[in-house]
């Protein structure tokens, strides 16, 4: 089997973003800073002075993955809605960065990853000497919820097949509820039309749920500027409608790609997703790690199976 490992990379210069948090409704600013090879992505809360402000990525750092992905360190310092930024890192090839943030939530921008991707590309991408390990799936991995399922089967390629199929969404998406993403192609051609469609796919929600979500202290910053609103008659609230026919299912793929970035490794296998969610994505990562001995993890240096504690380069 030919194993092609992606090179590590960092941003060419500091990239800054600012905007409202879709859940907190508060403004925040982030700075994506160049980082040395073999570091990974680390978040730093610049507004935290009495606790450890740094948060490293691992499946165990994810807490309460409802409506978004939130990460936490041992001092209970958190950052929420990291998934779109992490998806942008995956789409641009960034693997090492220090992300400074002055609040507890990454700004939602336009609800997609496109602004992050555009600015990272504008700043430039610096390739580095190390490579990203790859987990080669040898036995099927399956996680399920009440209405969702994700499975990974052995394959010589890295693919994601996603489908949305439940009563509430079907009238909205019609025949546009499924898509297939070739992760190998995305790595080889980050400027492809498929990559652009993924990056521009926005988060979505039902207008009639807005009050219920806000009563939970969430969605306080949601608006037509950053969220696709679905009306009770299945129409789209936003004046310009959807950006493309498969925007909703492709946004779920974008979330999945961002969540899987937390793993710190690429995955070789065929992934099939039915109604993926942040909860299922996190369960999948944890199950892969728990069964790491059943698979193979390759690095450029060894070209052989490595132990599970070597998977996390920044644990």
Q: How many residues does the chain have?
A: 315
Confidence of residue 311 (pLDDT cuts 50, 70, 90): very low
**Are 133 and 265 a contacting pair, CB within 8 Å?**
yes
pTM value > 0.85: yes
Domains of the chain with bracketed CATH: 7-310 (3.30.1700.10)
Confidence of residue 1 (pLDDT cuts 50, 70, 90): low
Q: Residue 138: is its pLDDT beyond 60?
A: yes
User: Which residues are 153's β-sheet partners?
Assistant: 270
pLDDT digits (tens, 9 = 90+) for 159-175: 999 999 999 999 999 99
- Over range 4-22, report the average pLDDT: 96
Catalytic residue IDs? 278
């Amino acid at each position: 089997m030919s194993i092609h490992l992606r090179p590590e990379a960092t941003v060419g210069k500091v990239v800054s973003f600012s905007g409202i948090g879709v859940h907190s409704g508060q403004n925040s600013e982030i700075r994506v800073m160049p980082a040395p090879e073999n570091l990974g992505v680390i978040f730093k809360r610049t507004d935290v002075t009495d606790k450890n402000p740094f948060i490293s990525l691992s499946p165990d750092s994810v807490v309460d993955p409802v409506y978004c992905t939130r990460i936490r360190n041992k001092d209970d310092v958190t950052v929420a809605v990291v998934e779109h930024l992490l998806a942008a890192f995956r789409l641009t090839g960034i693997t090492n960065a220090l992300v400074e943030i002055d609040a507890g939530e990454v700004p939602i921008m336009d609800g997609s990853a496109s602004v992050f991707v555009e600015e990272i590309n504008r700043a430039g991408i610096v390739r580095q000497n190390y490579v990203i390990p790859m987990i080669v799936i040898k036995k099927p991995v399956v996680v399920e919820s009440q209405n969702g399922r994700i499975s990974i089967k052995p394959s010589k390629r890295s693919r994601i097949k996603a489908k949305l199929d439940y009563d509430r969404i079907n009238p909205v998406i019609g025949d546009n509820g499924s898509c297939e993403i070739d992760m190998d192609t995305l790595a080889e051609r980050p400027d492809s039309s498929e990559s652009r469609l993924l990056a521009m796919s926005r988060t979505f929600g039902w207008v009639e749920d807005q009050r219920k979500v806000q009563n939970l202290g969430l969605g306080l910053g949601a608006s037509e500027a950053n969220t696709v609103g679905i009306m009770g008659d299945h129409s789209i609230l936003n004046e310009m409608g959807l950006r493309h026919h498969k925007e909703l299912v492709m946004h779920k793929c974008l979330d999945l790609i961002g969540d899987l970035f937390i793993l710190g490794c690429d995955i070789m296998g065929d992934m099939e997703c039915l109604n993926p969610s942040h909860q299922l994505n996190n369960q999948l990562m944890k199950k892969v790690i728990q069964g790491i001995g059943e698979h193979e993890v390759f690095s450029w240096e060894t070209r052989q199976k490595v132990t599970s504690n070597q998977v996390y380069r920044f644990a």
